[in-house]
Structure 1
Amino acid sequence: MTTDADILRIAAPAQAGVSGRPRRAGTRWRWRGVALGLVVPVVAAAGWELCVRAGLSDGRLVPPPSRIAETFWDLAATGELARHAAATVLRVAAGFGLGALAGTVMGALAGYSALTRALVDPTLQALRAIPSIAWVPLFILWLGIFEASKVALIAVGVFFPVYLGVMAAIASVDRKIVEVGRIFRLSGPAMVRRILLPAVLPAYVVSLRAGLGLGWMFVVAAEFMGAGEGLGYLLVDGQQLGKPAQIVAAIVAFAIIGKTTDWILVAATAPFLRWEDVVAQGETG
């Protein structure tokens, strides 16, 4: 009886090269990467704070970190920050779920079937070129000004990178590992589960991360559509009331929450990618 281990043992040279070396744990390198990633923003923030305190700038249009932190504290103390952040996260979560599901299905169909790709890909590529803001009046007309139109706009932003990633990954699966499956006479579902799915999973995770990033970008346009709460609302409110510290605080909140959700996505998918035999972080240094 053919087992997964038999298939992976034969397919491994075609898919992962001849290395076979065990990967390092990499814990030390991960923490080092986190520390290095904080260097630029911390140095930039400290430098701007010193410039304002030294009188080189009044910090009116670009407030110093101390003023931004004070604004954060005020928003958190009143509960506004949590309320607006929760509203934005829920919108992104709903839009990401819908967009990722639709992009996965359409990408899989277009990647697996040349006929489907010829029928739908030109239209989808044309729609992908439409700016996000151009969808706003149409979605308001179709779905109203409330949550449905906002979630739909975010889903559109998520859909295209996921669709492209899945379609390209399936279309570029190494022919040699497919031949391995045929040698073992795998059925169609077994071929998908044991050959195609592991082969496309790394590219699929990358496309999900790209879609999530665009989802956070599209939520700003979505919350410009008459939202009464959300981080995008804080941006508009800060602009209308002349509060640059509130605008920057909302931008920083977008960055922190967006990075956190990306980290959660990476951590959630990491167990499914442990089989990869790739260069471990720090091995090329």
Structure 2
Amino acid sequence: MSGTGQMDLLIDHAGHPWLNGSSALRHRLGRPSPDVDMAGFVVRDLGFARLRLGQGKIRLTIRAGRLEFPTLEAVVRFLLKESWRRLVIEHSEPIPRFEIFGEVEEAVARLKDLSVPSAALARGNPYSSQELSLDRLGQSGQESLQALLHLWRARRGQLAPNQIIGLTPASLKPRITLARMRPSDGANGSRALVEHIGPEYRAFDACWALNAIGRDLEDQPDPVYGAQSARGYHEVAALGQPRLELVDAVIDVPGRPVKRSRYDRLMLPWRSRGELFVSGASILRSSFALEPDETQAARS
């Protein structure tokens, strides 16, 4: 943008702002030619953020998975300092798309979803889950999970497997897993056998989903992710209570790019004819392939 009362900034890895078109930034990066699309290059290839403010609207251009913490921190400070009515987040890759926000809290939460995974997550523990209050289901965007919880409460957790899937809100059906919990001779005390799995788990291929029925939930193409994800099913089965959690996972499937996925997952225990089932329905916050250096860190 240009003109009175408008600004166009590029935020680098250190959180330092530069005016778009700055000759100093061009020379620092070794790209002095004004014919080069500097803004597109630094956002797409270097992980900068571009902020354009004018007429009460902020347009923030980023690339998912490239937003470092100092850059994120600088963007958040900008959002808190400036006066605006609407924020448009523009994703630069692979196909430009847009998200619109009117509240700073929602915008900041979304930016955290799109930022670089922490070193601890990538290197030490590729899976983390944080239990959330069920009260969060009253927030905008969680209506389908709230409806599923209402169903569980209305039926007092008593439904047959086909009824659970059939009565699940349509928007959740592609991302719901149902496990039949069985006693085990091993140390876990139970087995989680896949009864149903939705078609939208894109980290794995369709053939795996078809062959997964009747097998242990832990038996996934990424065994670390499989074991960690299945642990929640065993815990919900043991406690007999609903659980809402935020999952942040690095998923490494042989022959595919390593991906980082963040999603809210509602887990519910169900009973039918003396058998125990646990459902896991999720809303995807973000999912993207990691860069080669982050992939190496995740695998090391």
Shorter-chain TM-score category? under 0.3
TM-score by length of 1: 0.23
**Bigger helix fraction:** 1
Higher relative contact order (CA 8 A, sep 6+): 1
**Bigger strand fraction:** 2
| Larger radius of gyration between Structure 1 and Structure 2 | 1
TM-score by length of 2: 0.23
